[in-house]
Chain A
Amino acid sequence: AQTVTQSQPEMSVQEAETVTLSCTYDTSESDYYLFWYKQPPSRQMILVIRQEAYKQQNATENRFSVNFQKAAKSFSLKISDSQLGDAAMYFCAYRSDNQGGKLIFGQGTELSVKP
């Protein structure tokens, strides 16, 4: 069974600085998708960034980028120029074409941004 591990329950960053959230996963599949979701307190979970495993190029969305290391099964999220609005719980998630499209989540990393 696939598993996703986020080893940092909490992280803190100064406004305007850069922070990296870690995620590792375990799978025997070769084709899959990885995601980072953001969940602000009492608010909707939204997609931050997505990576297809067959793509070697790391995904980037504005201030958010990933470092995808397929062989190491690592998928970290870098947030540049951190803003107060980035404060939230961040979930790393795995999805394959099997298992009914099920999203498997890590335990989450609570990110706080200091002004």
Chain B
Amino acid sequence: DAMVIQNPRYQVTQFGKPVTLSCSQTLNHNVMYWYQQKSSQAPKLLFHYYDKDFNNEADTPDNFQSRRPNTSFCFLDIRSPGLGDAAMYLCATSRDLLGGGYTFGSGTRLTVV
């Protein structure tokens, strides 16, 4: 089945130690999004790629970076994780920027110790 896969499901990292979360998709969608969801809160968009074009939300901290080496994969890099970065990170895709809903991955729950 076509899907969005996030690895790992759970990630524990040390304070200040760089960490990378990955997302892959078999839907051949043009757009890939990264959302941050803290406990009991709504997901918040960090950035998205439309094909190779990167679009950063104005309030996304510089500590968060992303890479999309090809259509199928997108990575979220947190350069120096702080305790406040502990959250669920959701990857989502959509066919294009217009209209339709997203397909979400299962998320990666990041713990910072």
* A111 CA / B91 CA spacing, docked (Å): 24
Contact of A45 among B41, B94, B104 (CB under 8 A): B104
Contact B45 A102 (CB under 8 A): yes
Contact B105 A44 (CB under 8 A): yes
Closest CB in chain A relative to B43 CB, distance in Å: 5
Name the residue of chain A whose CB is nearest to the CB of B30.
A101
Contact A105 B96 (CB under 8 A): no
Contact A107 B42 (CB under 8 A): yes
Chain A interface size, under 10 / 10 to 19 / 20 to 34 / 35 or more = 20 to 34
B20-60 contact mask (Cβ, 8 Å, vs A): 1 or 0: 00000000000101000000111101001010000100000
Chain B interface size, under 10 / 10 to 19 / 20 to 34 / 35 or more = 20 to 34
Contact A100 B42 (CB under 8 A): no
Given A106-B42, A107-B42, A108-B42, do A101 and B106 touch, yes or no (CB 8 Å)? no
Contact B99 A44 (CB under 8 A): no
Contact A44 B42 (CB under 8 A): no
A: residues with CB less than 8 A from B are 33, 35, 37, 42-47, 50, 52, 91, 95, 97, 100-103, 105-108
A91-B42, A103-B92, A107-B42 given; 8 more Cβ-contact pairs under 8 Å: A33-B101, A45-B90, A45-B104, A100-B48, A100-B55, A100-B97, A101-B98, A108-B42
**What are 18 A-B pairs at a CB distance below 8 A?**
A33-B99, A33-B101, A35-B101, A42-B109, A44-B105, A45-B43, A47-B101, A47-B103, A50-B100, A91-B43, A97-B99, A100-B50, A100-B55, A101-B94, A101-B97, A107-B41, A107-B42, A108-B41
